[in-house]
Homo-oligomer: A and B are copies of this chain.
Amino acid sequence: MSAHTSRRERLRQATLEEIHAAARKLLVERGSAAVTINAVARQVGMSGPALYHYYAGHDELVGAVTADFFRELAAVMEQARDVRADAPIGDRILAVCRAMRAWATTHPAEFGWIFASPIAPPNRRPESVRHQAAVRFERVLLDLMIELWRTRPFPVPDPDGLPASLREQVTAYSAAIGGRLPPEAAHVFLSCWIRLYGLLCMEVLHQLDFAYTDLEPVFEECLRELAVTVGIDYHAAA
């Protein structure tokens, strides 16, 4: 499937990497509006339309670069998980969340780009590289929560206490993840996800600048609450 590494293929891969690097450089240095086909091509040393041999258009380039970011973010989180493969599950969860924020804050342009850039219809299709990479990212924490649920189930709300509409939706989601979390546990996971990811989202989009200059302690507070919610030990970063 993979290494049909002809000379041509290798050159093509190298060019693709150069293109992605150029796009990223433009994004970081001059903002998302600067990531244009022409500007990227100029940066790489080709002229304009040459890029169409690599991507069908601007949307596809954007999707590919976004997928890169998702993959890099997921890799950072997976690494935080794997270097502690023998640590308690709670520690690994905290480490993964911190790795997520660390990447977000050290790469604000990239992280902001991930959700603030409008998702073109082709990139919405489940088979798009962007979507695949996003799923991989989302699964890192999900898998850990599944492991936690299996080894040390956390307290869940009474499903009958949830509104019918919500119960239906978390049940559908529970099925979508292969039933590896029951609906009530899926609900708890989603609540945690919303809090963590939502906080980062607001931080990077500068929606909290009016009150905070540094959201690290706010994030830690959020982690502390998460720890209580899913019954793991909170302790500060190593």
Contact = CB atoms under 8 A, between A and B. Distances in A.
Nearest to A210: B138
Most buried by B among A33, A170, A202: A202
B119 A116 contact: no
Nearest to A117: B116
Interface in A26-62: 31-33
Number of copies of chain A assembled together: 2
A22 B66 CA distance: 32
Contact of A221 (B166, B176, B214): B166
A69 B217 CA distance: 32
A151 interface: no
Given A31-B118, A163-B217, A216-B165, A190 B211 contact: yes
A169 B211 contact: yes
B199 A202 contact: no
A201 interface: yes
Interface in A195-211: 195, 197-199, 201-202, 205-208, 210-211
Contacts of A211: 169-170, 173, 176, 186, 190
A136 to B, nearest CB: 12
Interface string A204-238: 01111011111011101100000000000000000
B163 A118 contact: no
B205 A116 contact: yes
Interface residues of A, number: 41
Nearest to A216: B165
A109 to B, nearest CB: 11
Contact of A201 (B190, B195, B198, B221): B198
Contacts of A198: 194-195, 198-199, 201-202
B119 A206 contact: yes
A208 B221 contact: no
Interface of A: 31-33, 115-116, 118-119, 135, 138, 162-163, 165-166, 169-170, 173, 176, 186, 190-191, 194-195, 197-199, 201-202, 205-208, 210-214, 216-218, 220-221
Given A163-B220, A170-B211, 10 more contacts: A115-B207, A119-B206, A138-B210, A162-B221, A165-B216, A166-B218, A190-B218, A194-B199, A197-B207, A198-B198
